[in-house]
Homo-oligomer: A and B are copies of this chain.
């Protein structure tokens, strides 16, 4: 065995982002992922973002370790092929709105009949029960509705969306987690089941202390920009050639911070000897700190502070991130050969297993590249009747 999901076949009906991210994670762990795409067109992401040598790098980076098979799921022939494929599968993933699979003729009863051990998964916007079940979803909208935007941004300005399409990715990652759990349950009890991951639920589960504090107190957490809502000092301070992010998360680390910058005596100053006082006089304190930190460069402070045990770093843009020696040491940028389309640089594996590590076994496939291989193997499989729905 080389990977945790060796021998697991995933039939992947997903498109765009949340679903392809989920199935990429499964593929990285060793699953055989068969991406079903509309004939001649494929996943819309194939045409999105920059195209080089005929390949969208956005598509390439989310569809590694997958095979591509074209099936027209609006037609009887395509549906018959899908039914056969499902008979051979361990997992079926879609990111349609709840109910779409049933309307296509693949409701829960039919799926159970085709393959009683199948693990099915649906990634959706709002869940499959409740008043919004039929609403179309999109990352920006679930960011707005979940409360994420209400806590993101500056105190004096409007709520802001995240720059990352975060609700898609969180939902995809939760779905992958749920699917592997369902596979482990099946390993033991022999039964398939249905997994559901909703964008709204996923991002809401990331509310952490903001959620628990509100549920206790009924108070609304403020937007605080780069300031901490409760602690000072904290934030970005100006060194001679740029800013330094500092986060002294407790009194011990705060003392280390103030000692390292030569301002430890302020912690005994009656103006600043308690967090409440520091918080109330935050602007005054921050000015003193920034004034002192002007004496050295960003790099010097970051080195000294980290050496003293104070979490510290700089705000990096993507060019700086992808040149960062730590990011490179962690192999978070990979080069993957795509025959006919050159070498694609893409993000690496975020979770590392030392015994059965993630690998790139296949580059992102050309549309329909595996039609013959996958559909050919179904030829001798008997067709089962579609007698429900």
Contact of A350 among B57, B202, B321 (CB under 8 A): B202
Q: Which residues of B contact A249 (CB under 8 A)?
A: 138
Q: Mark A202-224, 1 if CB is under 8 A from B, else 0.
A: 10111111111111111011011
Is the pair B194, A330 in contact by a Cβ cutoff of 8 Å? Answer: no
Partner-contacting stretch, out of A79-87, A161-169, A258-266, A373-381? A161-169
Residue A154, interface by CB 8 Å: yes
Contact flag A326-B184 (CB < 8 Å), given A138-B311, A163-B152: no
Q: A344–B21 Cα gap in the complex (Å)?
A: 34
Is the pair B154, A160 in contact by a Cβ cutoff of 8 Å? Answer: yes
Residue A196, interface by CB 8 Å: yes
Is the pair B165, A208 in contact by a Cβ cutoff of 8 Å? Answer: yes
Residue A279, interface by CB 8 Å: no
Is the pair A226, B161 in contact by a Cβ cutoff of 8 Å? Answer: yes
Contact of A347 among B1, B160, B205, B353 (CB under 8 A): B205
Contact flag A318-B220 (CB < 8 Å), given A193-B353, A213-B49, A245-B144: yes
Q: Which residue of B lies closest to A188 (CB)?
A: B1
Is the pair B48, A330 in contact by a Cβ cutoff of 8 Å? Answer: no
Contact of A311 among B136, B175, B345 (CB under 8 A): B136
Report which residue of A129, A163, A193, A236 has the largest number of chain B beta carbons within 10 angstroms of its beta carbon.
Answer: A163
Q: Which residue of B lies closest to A60 (CB)?
A: B212
Is the pair A181, B57 in contact by a Cβ cutoff of 8 Å? Answer: no
Q: Which residues of B contact A49 (CB under 8 A)?
A: 209, 212-213, 216
Query: Which A97-116 residues sit within 8 Å CB-CB of chain B?
Result: none
Contact flag A351-B213 (CB < 8 Å), given A184-B184, A188-B1: no
Contact of A169 among B191, B208, B221, B226 (CB under 8 A): B208
Contact flag A326-B200 (CB < 8 Å), given A17-B208, A187-B187, A194-B354: yes
Report which residue of A145, A181, A234, A314 has the largest number of chain B beta carbons within 10 angstroms of its beta carbon.
Answer: A181
Contact of A355 among B132, B191, B213, B345 (CB under 8 A): B191
Is the pair B177, A318 in contact by a Cβ cutoff of 8 Å? Answer: no
Is the pair A127, B329 in contact by a Cβ cutoff of 8 Å? Answer: yes
Closest CB of chain B to A31's CB: distance in Å? 10
Is the pair A166, B206 in contact by a Cβ cutoff of 8 Å? Answer: yes
Is the pair B180, A317 in contact by a Cβ cutoff of 8 Å? Answer: no
Closest CB of chain B to A223's CB: distance in Å? 6
Contact of A185 among B1, B139, B215 (CB under 8 A): B1
Q: A175–B173 Cα gap in the complex (Å)?
A: 11
The 8 closest A-B pairs by CB, nearest first: A193-B355, A130-B329, A151-B163, A138-B311, A4-B181, A205-B350, A178-B351, A138-B247
Given contacts A205-B348, A214-B322, 16 further A-B contacts (CB under 8 A): A4-B182, A48-B209, A57-B215, A130-B325, A141-B245, A141-B311, A147-B317, A147-B321, A161-B225, A164-B207, A178-B351, A181-B356, A200-B326, A201-B330, A204-B327, A205-B332
**25 A-B pairs with C-beta separation under 8 A:** A1-B188, A3-B185, A4-B182, A4-B185, A48-B209, A50-B217, A127-B352, A130-B325, A131-B325, A131-B329, A140-B311, A150-B315, A153-B160, A161-B226, A163-B210, A164-B208, A173-B177, A174-B351, A177-B177, A182-B353, A198-B350, A204-B347, A210-B318, A214-B318, A215-B345
